Amino acid sequence: MDHQTLVFEETFQGSTLNRSRWNVEVGDKWHNNEAQSYVDDHDHLIVDNGLTLLALVHPEFTSKRRYQSIRMNTKGKHEWQYGTFVVRAKVGTGVGSWPAIWFLPVDIGNVKWPLCGEIDLMETAGRDPEVMHFSLHTEWFNHIIKTQRTKFFKIPNIHEDFHDYKMVWTEEKISFFIDDVHYATFEKPSMDASVESWPFDKPYYLILNIAVGGTWGGRIEEKDMSYRMDVAFVRVYQ
């Protein structure tokens, strides 16, 4: 299926985030034993004709946790079922960083994870920054029970420049690319697949974030901070 009509484009022009398109999540407690608070301020989220997400260490203890970062999404503002998604990003390094470009479904508040589903267009752990991961999570296939449908590849020097992280999502399959090089495809088990194995026939929203530490981010090296991810644009075609 060709997705040729541009239905969403964000280039982060100007100096402020377009709040009609994006939410910034705030809170101190998150999944996976992550160590960060997510905050909403200009120290961690910078718009300057492009987007920069930063995770910083704050040695002075306040009501928030020692590590503070950004998690933003399009929930309730822009959500899509099927399409081609391209995020041009430069993913930084740093032991303990866990940057990700990913999707959750609109019904996650009513349907528990992982039955609701999750799509990870790109995630990487700073302890091994050249390894890029592409994954799907469902009730039957998820990382908690170590059955997730996932593939990962070591791509030398990928963190040194911007790259186009692309997902092509149809009714039959979900495929992942970097700079139009195909890396992974996960096919729907069958056209009558159960929601436990394929909950990907409903709208999802986009998330951009940098987690710190946790069960996957691992050991944190404060000397490596700040952790950083830059985003040049987001484009969605249907």
Domains of the chain in start order, with CATH, are 6-10+73-237 (2.60.120.200)
Q: How many CB atoms lie within 10 A of CB 112?
A: 9
Q: Which of 25, 123, 139, 196 is catalytic?
A: 123
Q: Which of 9, 10, 60, 118 is catalytic?
A: 118
- Which of 148, 158, 208 has the alpha carbon at shortest distance from 181? 158
- The burial class, CB within 10 Å (0-12 / 13-18 / 19+), for 64 is middle
Residue written as token pair 């503070």: 68
Helix (H) or strand (E) holding 216: helix 214-217
Beta bridge partners of 174: 169, 186
pLDDT digits (tens, 9 = 90+) for 170-180: 999 999 999 99
What pLDDT score was predicted for residue 60? 73
DSSP 8-class letter at 28: S
Beta bridge partners of 85: 167, 236
Amino acid at 206: L
Q: What is the mean pLDDT of each run of 10 residues along the chain (238 residues)?
A: 88 96 95 94 96 92 81 98 98 96 97 96 95 96 89 95 98 97 94 87 98 95 96 98
Per the annotation, the verdict on 172 as an active-site residue is no
| CA within 13 Å, CB half, 136 | 26
Per the annotation, the verdict on 34 as an active-site residue is no
